[in-house]
Amino acid sequence: MATHLKEGQKAPAFTGTDQNGNKISLSQYKGKKVALYFYPQDLTPTCTVQACNLRDNFSLLQQQGIHVIGVSPDEVAKHKRFEERNHLPFPLIADTSHKILEKYGVWGEKQMFGHKYMGVYRTTFLIDEKGGIKKIFLKPKSKQHAAEILENF
């Protein structure tokens, strides 16, 4: 399953709370480039690889004026542990109510080992300075995600 959003559309507005208790809104980033990445769960292998790839290339992303924001359904305290354990330099929004996930069409039924469950489709949206969706990665490459972002912004 994929998001209902399309490249060229306006990115849906949102506000959430990050791992430090700060309110983060997309409107704060008006006039800036944003890599908004949705991931299933803190402290899991693939999500950690993806977050650490973004961390390791954070200065390159910053040099291009790209702001990274992560979103998952984990709560604030778990995001804080994830940030501290992996020294992550960007906000992680706790979307426990799934409001942002649903707005972006990345929450839905998944299947693993024959079991169906509700979860996050790992997806990244590149949002341009005007608030438009420039690129959607439906299957980001966790080990090369920063390079994908840099190549497409």
In tens, the pLDDT along 50-91 reads 999 999 999 999 999 999 999 999 999 999 999 999 999 999
Which CATH number is 15-152's, of 3.20.20.70, 3.40.50.1100, 3.40.30.10, 3.30.70.20? 3.40.30.10
Q: For residue 8, is it left (φ>0), alpha (ψ between -120 and 50) or beta?
A: left
Catalytic residues: 47
pLDDT greater than 80 at residue 1: no
| Domain positions in the chain | 15-152
Cα–Cα dist 101/69, whole Å: 13
Cα–Cα dist 103/88, whole Å: 25
pLDDT confidence bin for 134, thresholds 50/70/90: very high
Residues in the chain: 153
End-to-end CA distance of the chain: 25
Confidence at residue 112, expressed as pLDDT on a 0 to 100 scale? 83
Q: What is the 3-state secondary structure (H, E, C) of 21-84?
A: CCEEEHHHHCCCEEEEEECCCCCCHHHHHHHHHHHHCHHHHHHCCEEEEEEECCCHHHHHHHHH
pLDDT greater than 80 at residue 3: yes
Can you tell me whether residue 10 is helix, strand or coil?
strand
Structure tokens that stand for 6 in this block: 């399309």
Confidence at residue 53, expressed as pLDDT on a 0 to 100 scale? 98
pTM tops 0.85: yes
Cα–Cα dist 42/121, whole Å: 14
In tens, the pLDDT along 8-18 reads 999 999 999 99
